[in-house]
Amino acid sequence: MTPLRKRMMEELQLRNLSPITADTYLRAVERFARYYNLSPEKMGPEQVRGYLLHLMNDNEVVASTILVNRSALRFLYVATLKQKWFDEEIARPKRRPTLPGILSAAEITRILDHTNNLKHWTILATFYATALRANELRHLKVSDLDSQRMVLHVRHGKGGVPRDIALSPVLLERLKVYYRWRRPTDWLFPSKQHHDQPLDPASIRMLCRNAGKRAGIGRPVYPHLFRHACATHMLDAGADLRTIQVQLGHSDIRTTARYLRVSLQRLQAIRSPFDALQLKPIDRSEDDGRQR
C-alpha cells in the first residue's frame, strides 16, 4: 500500500464514509493514476480536467459516473492532499435529470416465472417486494425478518441509516419456503463459495441480468430496476409519497417525487384542458386541398 493510499483511507475513515463510498473513491483514484501512469501527487488541474474530459467523451460512461469520479478526485486533492485549487479549476458538470427505468408488473411476473433457481427467485422477489438497494439486500440476516411484527429490519441503509419497512405476507411465505430449503444460519443470502459471507455484488448483478435475458426483456435488467418498479407500482396503487419515501429510505422527498413522472396511472388520470373545449365537429378540410 502506498503512503498516499493509506492517507486517503484514513481521511475516508475519519469522515465515517460508508465502505462502499470509500471503495468507490479509492478505485476511481487508482484508475486516474493508471491513466497517466503517475502518482496523483505529481499531477494537477490539467491532468484532472483531461481525465474527466476523457470520461465524458467515452460514450459508454454515463453522467453519474463522471460526477462520482469528480467527487473522488476532489476528495483526494482537497481532503487528502490539502490542495485549494480544485473547486476553482475543475467545473462541476451539470446533472441532467433522468427518468428511472420501469419494469411493468407483467415483466416482473415474466422474470420470476422464468427463474427456476429458488435462491435467485427469492432474491428477485425480495428486490421487488421491498424496493431494497442491492447492498441492503445482500446484508440481510435471518434475524432481520420479524414475522411477529411483520417488519423487515434494514441495518445497512444508505449513509449508514437503518430503517424498518413493512414485510409483505406473500413474500414472507416465499421466504419460509426458501429458508426450509436453504437453511441459512446468519446471512439470509450467503455466498455459494463462502457460507460465512454475504452474496457478492457482482453475483447479484449477474443473476438479475441473466433473469432478464431468460424472460426476453429487451433491455439490461439490474437490481435497481426492481426498486424503481416497486416504488412506481406502489404509487399507482395509491400509496402517498411520504410512505414510499420511508420504504425506500430516501433522505429527501424530492428524490421520491421523481416517480410521479413515470407513474402510468397518474399520467393517464391527467386530463388535458383541450378535452374540455366545446368544439364543433370537423370531418374534412374546407381548403382547396393544396396545403396538407
The candidate with the shortest Cα–Cα distance to 132, out of 30, 247, 20, is 247
Average pLDDT over residues 9-35: 92
Residue type present at position 91: A
pLDDT at 240: 85
pLDDT at 269: 63
Q: Which of 19-28, 150-159, 239-248 has the highest mean pLDDT?
A: 19-28
For 69, residues 6+ apart whose C-beta sits below 8 A from its C-beta are: 28, 31, 32, 51, 52, 55
Share of the chain above pLDDT 70, in %: 89
Are 97 and 192 spatial neighbours (Cβ–Cβ below 8 Å)? no
> Is the pLDDT at 247 greater than 70, yes or no?
yes
> Is the pLDDT at 270 greater than 70, yes or no?
no
pLDDT at 248: 87
> Is the pLDDT at 93 greater than 60, yes or no?
yes
pLDDT band at 86 (very low <50, low <70, confident <90, very high): very high
The candidate with the shortest Cα–Cα distance to 217, out of 62, 122, 60, 104, is 104
Name the pTM for this structure.
0.71
> Is the pLDDT at 126 greater than 70, yes or no?
yes
List residues with catalytic annotation: 133, 158, 224, 227, 250, 259
- Of 25 and 272, more confident: 25
Q: Which of 87-96, 142-151, 230-239 has the highest mean pLDDT?
A: 142-151
> Is the pLDDT at 262 greater than 60, yes or no?
yes
> Is the pLDDT at 32 greater than 80, yes or no?
yes
Average pLDDT over residues 202-213: 95
Mean pLDDT (the chain) is 88
Share of the chain above pLDDT 90, in %: 61
pLDDT band at 193 (very low <50, low <70, confident <90, very high): confident
Average pLDDT over residues 185-209: 92
Burial 121-148 (b: 16+ CB within 10 A, else e): bbbbbbbbbbbbbbbbbbbbbeebbeee
* Other beta carbons less than 10 A from residue 15's beta carbon: 11
DSSP letters spanning the chain: --HHHHHHHHHHHHTT--HHHHHHHHHHHHHHHHHHTS-GGG--HHHHHHHHHHHHT-TTS-HHHHHHHHHHHHIIIIIIS--S-HHHHSPPPPPPP-PPP---HHHHHHHHHT---HHHHHHHHHHHHH---HHHHHT-BGGGEETTTTEEEESS-GGG--EEEEPPHHHHHHHHHHHHHH--SSBSSB-SS-TTSBPPHHHHHHHHHHHHHHTT-SS---HHHHHHHHHHHHHHTT--HHHHHHHHT-SSHHHHGGGGGT-HHHHHHPPPGGGG--PPP--S--S-SS--
Average pLDDT over residues 262-278: 66
pLDDT band at 107 (very low <50, low <70, confident <90, very high): very high
